[in-house]
Structure 1
Amino acid sequence: MIRIYNKELDKLAEIHYKAIKDQLYKDFKQIKGTKKISTDEIEIKFNEKLKKNGINNTLREIITSKFDQLTKIAKRNIKYKKDTTFQKMYNKFSNGKDAHIGLRKPRGEPRLTYNANTMVESLGFKVCPLCNRNYINNTKRIYKTGKNGVEYTIKRTCQLDHYYSQSEYPLLAMSFYNLIPVCSSCNHAKSDKSLSISPYSIAKVDHLITFDFNIDDVKAISDKNHVKVSIKVDSSNKKVIKDHLDIIGIEELYKNHNDIVFEILQKYRHYNHIKRKELIVSFPGLYENEQEIKNVLFGEYKDIDNFHRKSLSKLTRDIIKRIDNYPSDLI
């Protein structure tokens, strides 16, 4: 698991909240007709309804509370299943190419659309945070070709997982920090099961699992079948991460990536410490130092807040770190 990190998360949660607030206004207008009322008045009415049903949290708190606070809200309201407002809104938000909610536009300005596609895109996450294996970024597809030219539609290659399931926690069906962009494989594996931690957790989760490798034969230098990916679990947090390992099946999934570790070992073998020094001397100005050569070979994985940009980046960083910490003549 990797942390969902974006400096603009609070701002994005606020945009999400405004869209929901506007959608509540639209829904009310459809029921009540032309009665004059503002979005702020709608919010007041909604908060009054929540309080009447024994919920001491406001609309804003339910939609924008960060994960740690959201957990407290979930525990307090686990039995509240009467209102399906947010479940119905989620369908408008996520189902189909025309799905969207809220964001009324001022007269004369371009139409604004807010839906699951735009939310995922704004997060800037390219790789599934639960497995760090599969890409989840949006893609453009041709929708139709007509007299106005080619029109495109956005295809969301990821799915949104509810950390707190809609069936058990309908009140949180549209909560920003409850919606986790994941790959279809992880979403299917998790289903309605519970995980102990979320990619939205405030604390960094990178240290909970560390990838390593084992070599069972000297032939590992030339045969990938003798290199095996292994996983080390932080002993003090074993209970916290255990369900993630069991439900998502990380250990089994990463057995398929022995070839990635083998490739890293091969690069180290061909561009070992001596070779890197030779490159710096032989091509002055091309590389400033050995680290720059490593960045060219493996990409830049030092910053864990960039793990979301490339598939298997956590695995790659851990293996490189392992090799660097236990150097040999091979590297």
Structure 2
Amino acid sequence: MERYYDYILSQNSRILAPNGIGTFVVNLLNEILEKQNKTERVTDFKSLLTMPFDELENLHDAINSDRSQDIMNNKVNSKKLNTFRNYYTRFFTKKIECPENEIKKNNISLIQDLGITVCPYCNRNYINSRDDSSGCEFDHYYDKQTYPFFALSLYNLIPSCSTCNRIKNSKSYDFCPFKVNSDEEVMFKVDLSSDSSKLQLYFGDKSQENNVLKLEDAYEIHEKDVAEMFRKETEYCKEYRDYLINLLGDRGNIGKEFSEEFFDYMIFGEIANDGFNDYLNYPLSKLKKDTYDYIVQLRAE
């Protein structure tokens, strides 16, 4: 976050001057909060750029009113906010010198610093870069046209694949990958009532048939991946595993090394680990983890 803040300042040396655009944005934001009798305040420009998503969400809710829009639409305010909004495009596609003395575009450097290689929205597409071409785009969770205050806020920038970014566009979406304390879990459920393994995506207890990102369309082709997991479970069933243990146990008494967890890891991979949560670096890992957990549940029934 420090590097990101320092980078923004390096792109506009007057941004924090008394008449600078950063100071203006913070003051206008606090003016809107005060006129709405809200207790929230933004202490400084650095706080606006780096505040955690939960704080950003509270700030968004506090200014999300027609009265706020009236103040923002004032001719002078609107012009300055538009200048601030456009900083995103100017800053993020500009090449910078990184600590390892490489020259990279800022958006490429930022996604590499985050250590994320799979789109957090769909968990399907890789978002790594090749040479000078970025495979990642940044979606403004709160769109910068309606909420220009958050145009550069780090936790409002969701690294995403181009498909998710274009489908979401400026629409609101109920799930933010940065909202770590959310009580509403996204979950895949498998319907085995028919001949094929049908998938349904749930957000909390609600079916996502009309999901903003159209994930139900994206995951239609992955019913075959679910079917493959059930095929493996059938093929390498308990009877077959017991047979292997007995066979190997007769040759050195090593059968005790082959636990249920060992076999599951060999068959299903990383997602079979109880503590697996690295969804941002393994494509389809959420689908496969939920399916695996369901398979384990079925074994106990």
**Rounded Cα–Cα distance in structure 2 between residues aligned with 1:256 and 1:267:** 19
Q: Deviations over 1:179-205 (max 9, x none)?
A: 001111111110100012311002156
1:323 Cα shift? 1.4
Aligned position for 1:258:
223
- Of residues 88, 100, 108, the one that matches 2:95 is 100
Aligned position for 1:120:
111
Q: Is the aligned partner of 1:309 residue 2:281?
A: yes
Conserved in 1, the CA contact under 8 Å of 2:138 and 2:157? yes
Conserved in 1, the CA contact under 8 Å of 2:190 and 2:197? no
Q: 1:52 to 1:295 in 2, by over 3 A?
A: closer
Conserved in 1, the CA contact under 8 Å of 2:21 and 2:84? no
**Rounded Cα–Cα distance in structure 2 between residues aligned with 1:131 and 1:124:** 17
The 5 A counterparts of 1:131-170 are: 131-140=122-131, 153=132, 155-170=133-148
The 5 A counterparts of 1:56-205 are: 56-57=41-42, 58-77=44-63, 79=69, 80=72, 81=78, 82-95=80-93, 99-100=94-95, 110=101, 115-140=106-131, 153=132, 155-204=133-182
Q: Which amino acid aligns with 1:121?
A: Q
Conserved in 2, the CA contact under 8 Å of 1:22 and 1:102? no
**Rounded Cα–Cα distance in structure 1 between residues aligned with 2:125 and 2:105:** 25
**Rounded Cα–Cα distance in structure 2 between residues aligned with 1:234 and 1:172:** 27
**Rounded Cα–Cα distance in structure 1 between residues aligned with 2:56 and 2:183:** 18
Q: 1:268 to 1:73 in 2, by over 3 A?
A: same
Q: Which moved more, 1:314-323 or 1:199-208?
A: 199-208
Q: Which amino acid aligns with 1:87?
A: R
Is the partner of 1:126 in helix, strand or coil? coil
Conserved in 1, the CA contact under 8 Å of 2:49 and 2:152? yes
Conserved in 2, the CA contact under 8 Å of 1:17 and 1:60? yes
1:90 Cα shift? 1.4
**Rounded Cα–Cα distance in structure 2 between residues aligned with 1:184 and 1:271:** 39
Is the partner of 1:307 in helix, strand or coil? coil
Aligned position for 1:49:
24
Alignment size in residue pairs: 271
**Rounded Cα–Cα distance in structure 2 between residues aligned with 1:268 and 1:206:** 29
**Rounded Cα–Cα distance in structure 2 between residues aligned with 1:287 and 1:269:** 22
- Of residues 324, 327, 330, the one that matches 2:296 is 324
Q: Deviations over 1:110-131 (max 9, x none)?
A: 4665611111111111211111
Relative contact order higher in (CA < 8 Å, ≥ 6 apart): 1
Is the partner of 1:209 in helix, strand or coil? strand
TM-score, normalisation: structure 2: 0.78
Q: Which amino acid aligns with 1:89?
A: Y
1:326 Cα shift? 1.3
Q: Is the aligned partner of 1:207 residue 2:185?
A: yes
For structure 2, the 5+ residue unaligned runs are 31-40, 73-77, 249-253
**Rounded Cα–Cα distance in structure 2 between residues aligned with 1:61 and 1:157:** 29
| RMSD between superposed Cα atoms in Å | 3.1
**Rounded Cα–Cα distance in structure 1 between residues aligned with 2:267 and 2:17:** 56
Q: Percent identity, please.
A: 27
- Of residues 16, 21, 25, the one that matches 2:4 is 16
Q: Deviations over 1:33-61 (max 9, x none)?
A: xxxxxx9x648956643455353522112
Q: 1:209 to 1:161 in 2, by over 3 A?
A: same
Q: 1:253 to 1:50 in 2, by over 3 A?
A: closer
Q: Is the aligned partner of 1:296 residue 2:271?
A: no
Q: 1:86 to 1:205 in 2, by over 3 A?
A: farther
Is the partner of 2:108 in helix, strand or coil? helix
Q: 1:64 to 1:214 in 2, by over 3 A?
A: same
